[in-house]
Amino acid sequence: METVHEKNAKVFKAFCDPKRLAVLEQLRSGEKCACVLLDKLDIGQSGLSYHMKILCESGIVDSRQQGKWTHYRLSETGRAYALALLQQITAPDTAQLSCCGCKE
């Protein structure tokens, strides 16, 4: 069983690694194929594959096969989901405001 916290933590794992942030930066300017991402990244081919899998599974990146090439792009849906989630988990919930509970 996976708790909701474990599930949510996975969404943010996508943004927790500098290599993955470098990939996202490249994708901001449009769809890229793996070979293009690769030669700007100081990383091996299997390393890129590893990180792209994490980005795709987190939903923030979509992929598309075209013959031998795989093209990656930012997912607008994934973006919206991550932003909404971050807003939610950091939002003060004034409806249930309680005092500290400390024995002082």
Is residue 1 involved in binding its own copies (CB under 8 A)?
no
* Pair 65, 47: CB distance under 8 Å: no
Nearest distance from C-beta of residue 46 to its own copies, angstroms:
20
With CB under 8 A as the contact rule, the residue among 1, 46, 65, 92 that binds its own copies is 92
Within 8 A by CB and 6+ apart from 48, the residues are: 23, 34, 37, 38, 41
Binding site for DNA (CB under 7 A): 13, 16-17, 19, 33-35, 38, 43-54, 63, 67-70, 103
List of residues 6+ apart from 35 with CB closer than 8 A: 69
Identity of the residue, 46 or 99, whose beta carbon is nearer to its own copies in the bound complex:
99
